[in-house]
Structure 1
């Protein structure tokens, strides 16, 4: 299984990468929307971990690209922003899971399809 992590906080990206790699997943990391779009177009992913607050947009901005290229992929938001707007938007975009920062390793591993 292959995962893409999109988060502008490198320490979070590396931490989630380590969690997933220890579970046998192949992981790519991007810190910007534009970089993530390139990866989405050039690779196949089964699961995406998206931050909402990125320097050049939001994780929500990637949903059209994700659904166009990987329609059945699981999408997980990992964000400190979990207000009414964010939760409503996540539902509208059929986000599979919403994990609030700070998070635990267990929360990340629970969303990986078996």
Structure 2
């Protein structure tokens, strides 16, 4: 899952970026409103964490631009403005959530997870397929024997496939979700991740099928 952090406090932005990367997300940061507006017009993000007091262009203007462009990024406003009028204005302009500073890092992560679940249409954090269950909150894959150990990039691919269980996930969606600005993820790399996952999933009656020229979807190996 790909997240954009828009925050002019460089120390705070770096801390949020580090926190979310440790949880396996692809994270990019920009530090002013004009840069944010330019980035969201050309790049796809699952979640935008948006400060309101930004140089060059304020956060509400960035939010308005995101919604005017009909982008489907979930927007979490993260700001020191805690007056009810500020919350109401942000939510009315199209923000999906609103969190005030100072904040608890665990709550920030929980709100990000909730927005990603909502965006994917998953009502429960637990998604089961075959003999496996993916916990979208904890970002863990389990079987009856316990946690299935999967490397971070492959786990992110599985997160997309489980959260959209029953649907084809386009290859370009996988690339965008796993890639930050400084990554150079290629279609061949995605194919390698999928190939390794297929071997890992063999004992659990789950496989990843290819929709030729489109992307991938989960299916039962015995089907």
Q: So what's the TM-score if we normalise by structure 2?
A: 0.48
User: What is the CA distance between 1:69 and its match in structure 2?
Assistant: 5.3
Question: Partner residue of 1:89?
Answer: 89
Larger Rg: 2
Aligned to 1:61: 61
Number of aligned positions between the proteins: 113
With over 3 angstroms needed to count, the CA separation of the structure-2 counterparts of 1:69 and 1:28, relative to structure 1, is: farther
Higher RCO, 1 vs 2 (CA within 8 Å, ≥6 residues apart): 1
Q: Give the Cα–Cα distance (whole angstroms) in 1 for the partners of residues 52 and 62 of structure 2.
A: 10
Q: How much has 1:52 moved relative to structure 2?
A: 0.7
Q: Runs ≥4 in structure 1, deviation > 4 angstroms?
A: none
Whether the 8 Å contact between 2:5 and 2:50 is mirrored in structure 1 is yes
How far apart are residue 65 of structure 1 and its match? 2.6
TM-score, normalisation: structure 1: 0.90
For residue 34 of structure 2, what is the aligned residue in structure 1? Answer: 34
**Structure 1 residue ranges without an equivalent (≥5):** none
* SS of the residue 2:28 aligns to: strand
How large is the Cα RMSD of the aligned pairs? Answer: 1.4
**Residues of 2 paired with 1:69 and 1:87: CA distance?**
21
